[in-house]
Amino acid sequence: MIPAARISAAIEVLDDIATRRRPAPDALKDWGLAHRFAGSKDRRAIGDLVFDALRHKNSSAAVAGGDDGRSVMIGLFFHHRGLDIAGLEKLFSGDRFAPEPLTDDERATLASDALSSAPDYIRGDYPEWISPNLARVFGDNVVAEMQALANPAPLDLRVNTLKAEADHAASELTAAIGRAPERPALSTLCLRLPLEPGTAEPHIASTEPFLKGQIEIQDLGSQLAAEFAGARPGMQVLDLCAGGGGKTLSLAAAMQNHGQIFAHDSDRRRLAPIHDRLTRAGVRNVQVRTPRPNSDVLDDLENRMDLVLVDAPCTGTGTWRRNPDAKWRIRPGSLAERNKDQAIVLASAGRYVKVGGRLAYITCSVLDEENTDQIDAFLAANPGFSVVPPQAVVEAYEQESMNILGPAVRLMSNGLLMTPLNSGTDGFFVSVLTRNS
Ligand SMILES: C[S@@+](CC[C@H](N)C(=O)[O-])C[C@H]1O[C@@H](n2cnc3c(N)ncnc32)[C@H](O)[C@@H]1O
């Protein structure tokens, strides 16, 4: 397909997503089924265009003066990809398969710099309804924070120290994919592969270091969040919302396979992949506690844990770099629902912490309602717990890892916030509490 035909296809898919409120992957799949002549390269290019357009939907539409797929694509090429009007006219030529030529109105709007006076939610590319929530956490910096959250994320890998030293894993990876990973300053255990739309993502799961368990795919924010929990060899640890086990594997490595981790999740299907992952990573100190009907599979752990990790269900606003479709699909009702889940899971977690033990609460959301507010509510209901000062959590990590976090991590009243703008990671919140009585 010629480039202009790919743009026409992307416009069609964007309109389908908007009018039928469909998830982007479903709309792309249907387009592929209905246009079987399109090869895999074309389909990937169209997918890149659609996801890039979703990243920058509001700002692109405003630049071109409309709100349909066509306006978004015009604005995307003009504002975000730096094409001038002459360049746009070559693509929007009206030739066979190409989108219709630019109208006089479109040309005039492109020349008018409509974006400079647009509201924050347009310039920052997020849904209008969530503006008060984001303004509450980011204040005057909201547009810069949200623009960073709209950009593509790198592919981050965590070196599994149970299987390999970081330098060794880095050189094995370089040999496997023909490209050396970056080494972000915040962690010696992170290997980073920057990605851009249009570049094929290396298939990590088929590389030798991955198959040998030396590396895991995990955003640096998630890696740091698990580190901040402070798991140490010999501890008794409950990973209450273990899901597929991303954090469980980090905890096991931090504990050097010594002590005991109990991995649980209320959804057995989410927990299922953990078994294979533990084996591949060489983890030997995890007991998986799969839920069973009419049975409390954790009752023997009450008041016994040195550390309870709550990787809470959340809206995932911090992961919008990886899933730009999600930011347009989230509804006010989902925030309220997740808040209820968070209160339930936190209340449950408190029961397992021993006196002198810790509770680490993590979300991949940047919203105070899911973060600081939840911790404040938990502390009000549980006076036996208190906050470990966020500065102390940072210092403990810096001492242990010899990496300096500095301003990369924002200190909140009762926890730490990482964002793409500050730390170059997905958005993550971590609060660490201790049980005093
Ligand atoms: C953010 S995900 C966990 C991701 C996982 N820790 C990882 O690192 O791969 C949140 C998990 O919480 C689980 N969950 C929700 N409510 C729960 C509850 N009341 N008790 C235990 N798990 C719960 C969900 O099933 C989901 O798997």
Average pLDDT over residues 187-213: 90
Q: Whole-angstrom Cα distance, residue 374 to residue 287?
A: 29
Average pLDDT over residues 51-61: 97
Minimum CA distance residue for ligand 1 atom 26: 243
Average pLDDT over residues 232-236: 98
Average pLDDT over residues 388-400: 97
CB atoms closer than 10 angstroms to residue 222? 25
Q: Answer whether residue 199 shows pLDDT above 90.
A: no
Minimum CA distance residue for ligand 1 atom 2: 313
Rounded to two decimals, the ipTM of the complex is 0.99
Residue 430 has what pLDDT? Answer: 98
- The share of the chain scoring above pLDDT 70, in percent, equals 99
Give residue 65 CA to ligand 1 midpoint distance, Å. 42
Extract the annotated binding site for S-adenosyl-L-methionine. Answer: 265, 311
Q: What element of type H or E holds 421?
A: helix 420-423
- Using one digit for the tens of pLDDT, what is the confidence trace for 329-384? 999 999 999 999 999 999 999 999 999 999 999 999 999 999 999 999 999 999 99
Answer for the pair 412, 377: CB distance below 8 angstroms, yes or no.
Answer: no
- What's the start-to-end Cα distance of the chain, in Å? 68
Average pLDDT over residues 186-214: 91
Q: Is 292 helix (H, G, I), strand (E, B) or coil?
A: strand
pTM exceeds 0.95, yes or no:
yes
What's the CA dihedral at 254, 278, 357, 364 to 10 degrees? 90
- The share of the chain scoring above pLDDT 90, in percent, equals 96
pLDDT band at 200 (very low <50, low <70, confident <90, very high): confident
Give residue 340 CA to ligand 1 midpoint distance, Å. 14
- Using one digit for the tens of pLDDT, what is the confidence trace for 314-328? 999 999 999 999 999
Residue 196 has what pLDDT? Answer: 64
Q: Is 268 helix (H, G, I), strand (E, B) or coil?
A: helix
Q: Give the CATH H-level superfamily of domain 220-435.
A: Vaccinia Virus protein VP39 (3.40.50.150)
Answer for the pair 152, 425: CB distance below 8 angstroms, yes or no.
Answer: no
- Using one digit for the tens of pLDDT, what is the confidence trace for 241-269? 999 999 999 999 999 999 999 999 999 99
Residue 140's contacts (CB-CB under 8 Å, 6 or more residues apart) are none
Residue 150's contacts (CB-CB under 8 Å, 6 or more residues apart) are 55, 56, 124, 125, 320, 321, 324
How many residues does the structure list for the chain?
Answer: 437
Q: Answer whether residue 307 shows pLDDT above 70.
A: yes
Structure tokens at 342: 């968070």
Q: What element of type H or E holds 307?
A: strand 305-311
Q: Answer whether residue 198 shows pLDDT above 70.
A: no
Angle of helix 40-55 relative to helix 3-20, nearest 10 degrees, comes to 60
Among candidate residues 190, 241, 314, 364, the one labeled active-site is 364
pLDDT band at 146 (very low <50, low <70, confident <90, very high): very high
Q: Where are the domains of the chain?
A: 3-118, 155-217, 220-435
Question: Under CATH, which number does the domain 3-118 receive?
Answer: 1.10.940
List all residues whose CB is within 6 A of at least one atom of ligand 1.
240-247, 265-267, 270, 311, 313, 341, 344-345, 348
Of 3.30.420.40, 3.40.50.1860, 3.30.70.1170, 2.60.40.420, which CATH number belongs to 155-217?
Answer: 3.30.70.1170
Amino acid type, 31: W
CATH topology agreement for domains 3-118 and 155-217: no
Probe residue for ligand 1, chosen from 217, 241, 278 as the CB with the greatest number of ligand atoms within 8 Å: 241
Residue 195 has what pLDDT? Answer: 83
Q: Whole-angstrom Cα distance, residue 213 to residue 361?
A: 27
Report how far apart, in Å, the C-alpha atoms of 166 and of each of 91, 183, 264, 337, 356 are: 46, 10, 29, 40, 33
Active-site residue 364, yes or no? yes
Q: Answer whether residue 228 shows pLDDT above 90.
A: yes
- Using one digit for the tens of pLDDT, what is the confidence trace for 62-96? 999 999 999 999 999 999 999 999 999 999 999 99
What mean pLDDT, rounded, does the chain reach? 96
Ligand 1 atom showing the smallest separation from residue 309 Cα: 6
CB atoms closer than 10 angstroms to residue 380? 8
